[in-house]
Amino acid sequence: MAAPAYKRILLKLSGEALMGNDSYGINRETIERIVAEVKEVVDLGVQVAVVIGGGNIFRGVAPAAAGMDRATADYMGMMATVMNALALQDAMRRVDLVSRVQSALTIEQVAEPYIRGKAIRYLEEGKVVIFGAGTGNPFFTTDTAAALRGMEMNAEIVLKATKVDGVYTDDPKTHPDAMRYKSLTFDEAIMRNLKVMDATALTLCRDQKLPINVFSIFKQGALKRVVMGEDEGTLVSP
């Protein structure tokens, strides 16, 4: 079997990816399938770090948060990502995949505080490291957290797992003739205002020459194909 194209990756999972077809919350069948995809690449010897969003949980309380102070709402969203991280860790435990949760917010009863050196050591030991609470600061998205942690972990690539199998010229749901980009440069993605990641995350990755691949986590085997360097998703690079 060919060797993986990447030895250390940062996987960005949106909270919505955990919902499946539910309106909010965590769909057990969906999270188990995602964990199976992660285990498949870990078994290849790939070191995997994960940054997870919280939109699936926070969506359930969104009406109550209307008009709330932005910083307060962001902290609530960060705590939602920790809940998702714990759910992901539990699903990994059930398939004998060893993982550690590190939180940018101090919640020592349920997660370790984020310590870069410790996280890198866990990766070198073959453990999956799940980063919760984003950057620990309001006004920054989990996309930005993924870019930041990817650089700190010396990841070779950031993989953004979505419901769409790449970046398109237009919304493929409303424009069936939309074309998928096989590859893009960072400058092209920024100038065309393509929805790869938010502008801060995209700029961080561009400045540090950290490539991004946007792919669908709902396509069976897609994560493995990306890791093996096959034509899957959209590659954004310098």
pLDDT tens, position by position, for the chain (238 residues)?
688 999 999 999 998 888 877 878 888 999 999 999 999 999 999 999 999 998 887 665 666 667 788 898 889 889 999 999 999 999 999 999 999 999 999 999 999 999 999 999 999 999 999 999 999 999 999 999 999 999 999 999 999 999 889 999 888 888 888 899 999 999 999 998 888 899 999 999 999 999 999 999 999 999 999 999 999 999 999 9
> Looking at the domain assignment, is residue 1 inside a domain?
no
Domain of residue 133, CATH code: 3.40.1160.10
Is residue 74 part of an annotated ligand binding site? yes
Is residue 166 part of an annotated ligand binding site? no
What φ, ψ does residue 77 adopt, rounded to 5°? Answer: -60, -35
Is residue 168 part of an annotated ligand binding site? yes
CA angle 118, 114, 8 (to 5 degrees): 55
Is residue 136 part of an annotated ligand binding site? yes
What φ, ψ does residue 137 adopt, rounded to 5°? Answer: -125, 140
Is residue 126 part of an annotated ligand binding site? no
Is residue 54 part of an annotated ligand binding site? yes
> Looking at the domain assignment, is residue 140 inside a domain?
yes
Task: Provide CB contacts within 8 A for 219, sequence distance 6+.
Answer: 165, 232
Task: Report the pLDDT value the prediction gives residue 22, as an integer from 0 to 100.
Answer: 80
Q: CA-CA-CA-CA torsion for 9, 14, 16, 19, nearest 10 degrees? A: 40
Is residue 137 part of an annotated ligand binding site? yes
Task: Report the pLDDT value the prediction gives residue 61, as an integer from 0 to 100.
Answer: 60
Is residue 59 part of an annotated ligand binding site? yes
> Looking at the domain assignment, is residue 151 inside a domain?
yes
Query: Based on the structure, what is the number of domains in the chain?
Result: 1
Is residue 215 part of an annotated ligand binding site? no
173: domain range?
A: 8-237
> Looking at the domain assignment, is residue 111 inside a domain?
yes
Is residue 13 part of an annotated ligand binding site? yes
> Looking at the domain assignment, is residue 2 inside a domain?
no
Task: Report the pLDDT value the prediction gives residue 140, as an integer from 0 to 100.
Answer: 93
Q: Is 0.85 surpassed by the pTM of this model?
A: yes
Is residue 12 part of an annotated ligand binding site? yes
